[in-house]
Amino acid sequence: MKDKTGGPFSRELFTRSPDNPILSVEDWPYAANSVFNAAAAEVNGETILLARVEDFRGISHLTAARSNDGISNWQISKEPTLRPEPKKYPEEIWGIEDPRITRLEELKSWAICYTAYSKGGPMVSLATTSDFKTFERIGPIMPPEDKDAALFPVKFKGLWAMLHRPVPKMAMFGAHIWISFSPNLKHWGEHREIIQARDGGWWDAGKIGLCAPPMETKEGWLILYHGVRVTASGSIYRLGLALLDLEDPTRVIRRSDEWVFGPKAQYEREGDVDDVVFPCGWIKKGNKIFMYYGAADSRICLATADFDDVVGFILKSPSGDYTD
Protein backbone atom coordinates (compact mmCIF):
# COMPACT_ATOMS: atom_id res chain seq x y z
CA MET A 1 0.00 0.00 0.00
CA LYS A 2 1.74 3.18 -1.17
CA ASP A 3 -0.74 5.99 -0.88
CA LYS A 4 -2.16 6.89 2.52
CA THR A 5 -3.88 10.07 1.41
CA GLY A 6 -6.81 8.69 -0.51
CA GLY A 7 -5.28 8.30 -3.95
CA PRO A 8 -5.74 5.25 -6.14
CA PHE A 9 -5.31 1.86 -4.54
CA SER A 10 -4.66 -0.93 -7.00
CA ARG A 11 -7.53 -3.18 -8.16
CA GLU A 12 -10.39 -1.20 -6.60
CA LEU A 13 -13.18 -0.46 -9.08
CA PHE A 14 -13.98 2.88 -7.48
CA THR A 15 -11.63 5.88 -7.45
CA ARG A 16 -11.60 8.24 -4.48
CA SER A 17 -12.33 11.89 -5.19
CA PRO A 18 -9.27 14.12 -4.66
CA ASP A 19 -11.70 16.46 -2.85
CA ASN A 20 -12.40 13.93 -0.10
CA PRO A 21 -13.86 14.35 2.37
CA ILE A 22 -16.39 16.32 0.33
CA LEU A 23 -18.42 17.22 3.43
CA SER A 24 -17.61 17.18 7.10
CA VAL A 25 -18.75 18.76 10.31
CA GLU A 26 -16.43 21.75 9.69
CA ASP A 27 -18.64 22.66 6.69
CA TRP A 28 -21.86 22.44 8.66
CA PRO A 29 -23.86 25.63 9.35
CA TYR A 30 -24.61 24.49 12.91
CA ALA A 31 -22.68 22.62 15.57
CA ALA A 32 -22.76 18.83 15.37
CA ASN A 33 -20.56 15.88 16.27
CA SER A 34 -20.37 14.23 12.84
CA VAL A 35 -21.97 14.01 9.37
CA PHE A 36 -21.88 10.74 7.46
CA ASN A 37 -23.91 7.97 5.73
CA ALA A 38 -25.80 10.27 3.32
CA ALA A 39 -28.52 9.20 0.90
CA ALA A 40 -28.27 10.66 -2.60
CA ALA A 41 -30.67 11.70 -5.36
CA GLU A 42 -30.46 13.69 -8.55
CA VAL A 43 -33.33 16.16 -8.75
CA ASN A 44 -33.61 18.41 -11.82
CA GLY A 45 -29.89 18.11 -12.48
CA GLU A 46 -28.98 18.99 -8.89
CA THR A 47 -27.45 16.46 -6.48
CA ILE A 48 -29.18 16.25 -3.12
CA LEU A 49 -27.56 14.48 -0.24
CA LEU A 50 -29.60 13.71 2.83
CA ALA A 51 -26.86 13.46 5.41
CA ARG A 52 -27.04 11.72 8.74
CA VAL A 53 -26.01 14.30 11.33
CA GLU A 54 -25.20 13.15 14.84
CA ASP A 55 -25.68 15.77 17.55
CA PHE A 56 -23.82 16.03 20.85
CA ARG A 57 -26.36 13.80 22.58
CA GLY A 58 -25.50 10.97 20.16
CA ILE A 59 -28.91 11.27 18.46
CA SER A 60 -29.07 11.57 14.66
CA HIS A 61 -31.29 13.56 12.28
CA LEU A 62 -31.15 14.18 8.53
CA THR A 63 -30.09 17.37 6.75
CA ALA A 64 -30.10 18.15 3.03
CA ALA A 65 -27.05 19.44 1.13
CA ARG A 66 -27.32 20.47 -2.52
CA SER A 67 -24.69 20.84 -5.24
CA ASN A 68 -24.72 21.37 -9.01
CA ASP A 69 -21.83 19.03 -9.79
CA GLY A 70 -22.29 16.59 -6.90
CA ILE A 71 -18.74 17.31 -5.72
CA SER A 72 -18.37 20.91 -4.56
CA ASN A 73 -20.15 24.13 -3.54
CA TRP A 74 -22.63 22.38 -1.30
CA GLN A 75 -25.55 24.45 -0.06
CA ILE A 76 -26.37 22.97 3.33
CA SER A 77 -29.73 23.58 4.99
CA LYS A 78 -29.35 25.92 7.95
CA GLU A 79 -31.55 23.63 10.05
CA PRO A 80 -32.26 19.91 10.23
CA THR A 81 -34.41 18.76 7.29
CA LEU A 82 -35.98 15.69 8.91
CA ARG A 83 -35.84 15.47 12.69
CA PRO A 84 -36.86 12.56 14.88
CA GLU A 85 -40.35 13.15 16.27
CA PRO A 86 -40.57 10.74 19.20
CA LYS A 87 -43.78 12.28 20.59
CA LYS A 88 -45.68 11.30 17.46
CA TYR A 89 -43.40 8.48 16.35
CA PRO A 90 -42.06 6.79 19.50
CA GLU A 91 -39.86 4.49 17.43
CA GLU A 92 -37.68 7.54 16.66
CA ILE A 93 -36.76 8.11 20.32
CA TRP A 94 -33.03 7.56 19.79
CA GLY A 95 -32.88 9.21 16.38
CA ILE A 96 -33.16 8.55 12.67
CA GLU A 97 -30.20 7.19 10.73
CA ASP A 98 -28.80 5.94 7.42
CA PRO A 99 -31.43 7.02 4.83
CA ARG A 100 -31.73 5.53 1.32
CA ILE A 101 -33.66 7.37 -1.39
CA THR A 102 -35.57 5.77 -4.29
CA ARG A 103 -37.49 7.59 -7.02
CA LEU A 104 -41.02 6.16 -7.38
CA GLU A 105 -41.99 7.52 -10.78
CA GLU A 106 -45.43 5.93 -10.60
CA LEU A 107 -46.23 8.01 -7.48
CA LYS A 108 -44.25 11.09 -8.65
CA SER A 109 -42.52 10.93 -5.32
CA TRP A 110 -39.27 10.01 -3.57
CA ALA A 111 -39.30 7.26 -0.95
CA ILE A 112 -36.85 7.37 1.94
CA CYS A 113 -36.17 4.26 3.98
CA TYR A 114 -34.34 5.10 7.20
CA THR A 115 -33.44 3.49 10.48
CA ALA A 116 -35.68 4.55 13.36
CA TYR A 117 -33.72 3.84 16.51
CA SER A 118 -36.42 2.63 18.89
CA LYS A 119 -36.20 1.40 22.45
CA GLY A 120 -36.66 -2.10 21.04
CA GLY A 121 -33.72 -1.65 18.64
CA PRO A 122 -33.30 -0.33 15.10
CA MET A 123 -36.31 -0.68 12.80
CA VAL A 124 -37.10 0.29 9.20
CA SER A 125 -39.24 3.41 8.71
CA LEU A 126 -40.47 4.90 5.46
CA ALA A 127 -41.30 8.48 4.46
CA THR A 128 -42.07 10.09 1.10
CA THR A 129 -41.36 13.56 -0.23
CA SER A 130 -41.67 15.47 -3.48
CA ASP A 131 -39.38 18.39 -2.62
CA PHE A 132 -37.01 17.26 0.17
CA LYS A 133 -38.48 20.00 2.35
CA THR A 134 -41.69 18.42 3.62
CA PHE A 135 -42.03 14.72 4.33
CA GLU A 136 -44.95 12.38 4.81
CA ARG A 137 -44.23 9.50 7.14
CA ILE A 138 -45.64 6.10 6.28
CA GLY A 139 -44.13 5.00 9.58
CA PRO A 140 -42.31 1.91 10.80
CA ILE A 141 -42.66 -0.94 8.33
CA MET A 142 -40.39 -3.61 9.85
CA PRO A 143 -40.05 -4.49 13.54
CA PRO A 144 -36.66 -4.48 15.28
CA GLU A 145 -34.01 -5.47 14.73
CA ASP A 146 -33.98 -4.49 11.07
CA LYS A 147 -32.14 -1.84 9.03
CA ASP A 148 -30.20 -1.23 5.78
CA ALA A 149 -33.40 -0.99 3.73
CA ALA A 150 -34.16 0.49 0.32
CA LEU A 151 -37.02 0.22 -2.15
CA PHE A 152 -36.83 -0.79 -5.79
CA PRO A 153 -38.09 2.02 -8.06
CA VAL A 154 -40.69 -0.17 -9.81
CA LYS A 155 -43.31 -2.77 -8.92
CA PHE A 156 -42.99 -6.49 -9.60
CA LYS A 157 -46.24 -8.20 -10.53
CA GLY A 158 -48.14 -5.29 -8.98
CA LEU A 159 -46.14 -5.18 -5.72
CA TRP A 160 -43.50 -2.78 -4.41
CA ALA A 161 -40.31 -4.53 -3.30
CA MET A 162 -37.78 -3.69 -0.60
CA LEU A 163 -34.40 -5.09 0.44
CA HIS A 164 -33.59 -5.01 4.15
CA ARG A 165 -31.50 -6.72 6.81
CA PRO A 166 -33.26 -8.23 9.81
CA VAL A 167 -31.05 -9.56 12.58
CA PRO A 168 -32.54 -12.79 13.86
CA LYS A 169 -32.48 -13.56 17.54
CA MET A 170 -30.47 -16.63 16.64
CA ALA A 171 -27.79 -14.35 15.22
CA MET A 172 -25.26 -17.16 15.35
CA PHE A 173 -26.77 -18.07 11.99
CA GLY A 174 -25.80 -14.64 10.63
CA ALA A 175 -27.50 -11.46 9.45
CA HIS A 176 -28.49 -11.62 5.78
CA ILE A 177 -30.24 -9.53 3.11
CA TRP A 178 -33.97 -10.19 2.70
CA ILE A 179 -36.59 -9.06 0.20
CA SER A 180 -40.22 -8.23 1.05
CA PHE A 181 -43.20 -7.11 -1.03
CA SER A 182 -46.11 -4.72 -0.49
CA PRO A 183 -49.23 -3.63 -2.35
CA ASN A 184 -49.32 -0.19 -0.70
CA LEU A 185 -45.86 0.57 0.82
CA LYS A 186 -47.32 0.17 4.32
CA HIS A 187 -48.01 -3.54 4.73
CA TRP A 188 -45.18 -5.86 3.84
CA GLY A 189 -45.04 -9.65 3.35
CA GLU A 190 -43.68 -12.49 1.21
CA HIS A 191 -40.43 -12.13 3.15
CA ARG A 192 -37.54 -14.09 1.77
CA GLU A 193 -33.82 -14.27 2.50
CA ILE A 194 -31.89 -13.76 -0.75
CA ILE A 195 -28.22 -12.91 -0.11
CA GLN A 196 -26.47 -14.71 2.74
CA ALA A 197 -23.46 -13.59 4.71
CA ARG A 198 -20.68 -16.10 4.10
CA ASP A 199 -18.85 -18.01 6.81
CA GLY A 200 -15.41 -18.41 8.29
CA GLY A 201 -12.59 -16.33 6.87
CA TRP A 202 -14.56 -14.50 4.17
CA TRP A 203 -14.55 -10.68 4.17
CA ASP A 204 -18.37 -10.78 4.34
CA ALA A 205 -18.73 -13.55 6.91
CA GLY A 206 -21.43 -13.35 9.57
CA LYS A 207 -23.08 -10.02 8.76
CA ILE A 208 -23.95 -8.20 5.56
CA GLY A 209 -26.40 -5.41 4.69
CA LEU A 210 -27.57 -3.42 1.69
CA CYS A 211 -25.78 -0.12 1.06
CA ALA A 212 -27.12 2.14 -1.72
CA PRO A 213 -30.52 1.31 -3.32
CA PRO A 214 -30.64 -1.22 -6.21
CA MET A 215 -29.46 0.34 -9.50
CA GLU A 216 -31.18 -0.78 -12.69
CA THR A 217 -28.94 -2.04 -15.53
CA LYS A 218 -29.89 -3.92 -18.71
CA GLU A 219 -28.34 -7.04 -17.18
CA GLY A 220 -30.12 -6.90 -13.84
CA TRP A 221 -30.39 -4.96 -10.56
CA LEU A 222 -26.95 -3.96 -9.35
CA ILE A 223 -26.64 -4.40 -5.59
CA LEU A 224 -24.01 -2.73 -3.43
CA TYR A 225 -23.69 -4.29 0.00
CA HIS A 226 -21.38 -4.13 2.99
CA GLY A 227 -19.72 -7.05 4.68
CA VAL A 228 -18.46 -6.82 8.24
CA ARG A 229 -15.26 -8.58 9.17
CA VAL A 230 -14.73 -8.88 12.91
CA THR A 231 -11.08 -8.71 13.91
CA ALA A 232 -9.16 -8.55 17.19
CA SER A 233 -9.05 -4.74 16.89
CA GLY A 234 -12.65 -4.15 15.78
CA SER A 235 -14.83 -4.52 12.69
CA ILE A 236 -13.88 -3.67 9.09
CA TYR A 237 -16.75 -2.55 6.81
CA ARG A 238 -16.06 -3.32 3.14
CA LEU A 239 -18.20 -3.35 -0.01
CA GLY A 240 -19.21 -6.04 -2.49
CA LEU A 241 -21.52 -6.29 -5.50
CA ALA A 242 -24.29 -8.62 -6.57
CA LEU A 243 -26.74 -8.74 -9.47
CA LEU A 244 -30.42 -9.67 -9.18
CA ASP A 245 -32.68 -10.78 -12.01
CA LEU A 246 -34.50 -7.82 -13.60
CA GLU A 247 -37.93 -9.46 -13.64
CA ASP A 248 -37.57 -11.57 -10.50
CA PRO A 249 -35.41 -9.76 -7.90
CA THR A 250 -35.54 -12.78 -5.57
CA ARG A 251 -33.03 -14.43 -7.96
CA VAL A 252 -29.37 -13.66 -7.34
CA ILE A 253 -27.58 -14.16 -10.66
CA ARG A 254 -24.07 -12.91 -9.76
CA ARG A 255 -22.09 -12.10 -6.64
CA SER A 256 -18.53 -10.82 -6.34
CA ASP A 257 -16.15 -13.01 -4.40
CA GLU A 258 -13.81 -10.16 -3.57
CA TRP A 259 -14.69 -6.86 -1.98
CA VAL A 260 -14.59 -3.94 -4.42
CA PHE A 261 -13.88 -1.12 -1.93
CA GLY A 262 -12.66 -0.96 1.64
CA PRO A 263 -11.17 1.47 4.16
CA LYS A 264 -7.67 2.45 3.08
CA ALA A 265 -7.41 6.25 3.17
CA GLN A 266 -6.72 7.87 6.52
CA TYR A 267 -10.17 9.52 6.53
CA GLU A 268 -11.76 6.05 6.27
CA ARG A 269 -9.44 4.39 8.75
CA GLU A 270 -9.79 6.88 11.62
CA GLY A 271 -12.86 8.51 13.08
CA ASP A 272 -15.62 7.89 15.58
CA VAL A 273 -15.71 4.31 14.29
CA ASP A 274 -12.47 3.27 12.59
CA ASP A 275 -12.29 1.32 9.34
CA VAL A 276 -15.75 1.96 7.94
CA VAL A 277 -16.89 2.82 4.42
CA PHE A 278 -20.69 3.01 4.35
CA PRO A 279 -22.44 4.28 1.17
CA CYS A 280 -26.15 5.05 1.46
CA GLY A 281 -26.44 6.52 -2.04
CA TRP A 282 -25.10 6.26 -5.58
CA ILE A 283 -26.06 8.15 -8.72
CA LYS A 284 -25.43 7.35 -12.36
CA LYS A 285 -24.21 10.49 -14.12
CA GLY A 286 -23.51 9.81 -17.80
CA ASN A 287 -21.25 6.79 -17.83
CA LYS A 288 -20.01 7.31 -14.28
CA ILE A 289 -21.31 6.07 -10.96
CA PHE A 290 -20.95 8.56 -8.10
CA MET A 291 -20.90 6.64 -4.83
CA TYR A 292 -21.40 8.71 -1.66
CA TYR A 293 -20.18 7.06 1.50
CA GLY A 294 -19.73 7.74 5.15
CA ALA A 295 -16.08 7.38 6.16
CA ALA A 296 -15.29 6.16 9.69
CA ASP A 297 -18.74 7.40 10.85
CA SER A 298 -17.30 10.93 10.75
CA ARG A 299 -17.46 12.49 7.26
CA ILE A 300 -18.93 12.18 3.77
CA CYS A 301 -16.77 11.05 0.87
CA LEU A 302 -17.16 10.38 -2.84
CA ALA A 303 -15.72 7.67 -5.07
CA THR A 304 -16.52 7.23 -8.76
CA ALA A 305 -16.42 4.30 -11.13
CA ASP A 306 -17.01 3.72 -14.79
CA PHE A 307 -20.52 2.22 -15.14
CA ASP A 308 -19.45 -0.25 -17.87
CA ASP A 309 -16.48 -1.42 -15.77
CA VAL A 310 -18.78 -2.12 -12.82
CA VAL A 311 -21.30 -4.01 -14.95
CA GLY A 312 -18.47 -5.88 -16.71
CA PHE A 313 -16.98 -6.81 -13.34
CA ILE A 314 -20.21 -8.20 -11.90
CA LEU A 315 -20.99 -10.13 -15.09
CA LYS A 316 -17.60 -11.84 -14.76
CA SER A 317 -18.28 -12.69 -11.11
CA PRO A 318 -19.48 -16.13 -10.06
CA SER A 319 -23.14 -17.07 -10.15
CA GLY A 320 -25.11 -16.36 -6.98
CA ASP A 321 -24.78 -19.99 -5.88
CA TYR A 322 -21.45 -19.82 -4.10
CA THR A 323 -19.99 -22.53 -1.94
CA ASP A 324 -18.42 -21.61 1.36
Q: Which residue's CB is nearer to ligand BMA, number 98 or number 162?
A: 98
Residue of 64, 67, 66 whose CA lies nearest to 80: 64
Q: Which of 14, 160, 278, 282 binds ligand BMA (CB under 6 A)?
A: 278
**315 — phi, psi (to 5°)?**
-70, -25
Q: Which of 41, 276, 301, 302 binds ligand BMA (CB under 6 A)?
A: 276
Q: Which of 297, 302, 305, 317 binds ligand BMA (CB under 6 A)?
A: 297
Interface of this chain with ligand BMA, residues 204 to 223, rule: CB under 6 A: none
Residue 294 sits in the site that holds ligand BMA (CB under 6 A): yes
Interface of this chain with ligand BMA, residues 23 to 82, rule: CB under 6 A: 37
Q: How far is the CB of 133 from ligand BMA (least distance, A)?
A: 24
Compute the Cα dihedral for 263, 208, 125, 103 and give only its sign.
Answer: positive
How far apart, in whole angstroms, are the C-alpha atoms of residue 268 and residue 92? 28
Compute the Cα dihedral for 141, 147, 153, 154 and give only its sign.
Answer: negative
Q: How many residues bind ligand BMA (CB under 6 A)?
A: 9
The site string for ligand BMA over 236-275 (x = CB under 6 A, - otherwise) reads: -x-----------------------------------x--
* Rg of the chain (C-alpha set): 18
Q: How far is the CB of 296 from ligand BMA (least distance, A)?
A: 9
Interface of this chain with ligand BMA, residues 144 to 163, rule: CB under 6 A: none
Q: How far is the CB of 97 from ligand BMA (least distance, A)?
A: 6
Q: How far is the CB of 321 from ligand BMA (least distance, A)?
A: 28
Q: How far is the CB of 273 from ligand BMA (least distance, A)?
A: 4
Residue 92 sits in the site that holds ligand BMA (CB under 6 A): no
Q: Which residue's CB is nearer to ligand BMA, number 167 or number 243?
A: 167
Q: Which of 91, 92, 98, 268 binds ligand BMA (CB under 6 A)?
A: 98
How many CA atoms lie within 13 Å of 197's alpha carbon, on the beta-carbon side?
27
Query: In this chain, which residue has its C-beta nearest to ligand BMA?
Result: 273
Q: Which residue's CB is nearer to ligand BMA, number 122 or number 220?
A: 122
How far apart, in whole angstroms, are the C-alpha atoms of residue 211 and residue 163? 10
Contact residues: ligand BMA, CB under 6 A: 37, 97-98, 237, 273, 276, 278, 294, 297
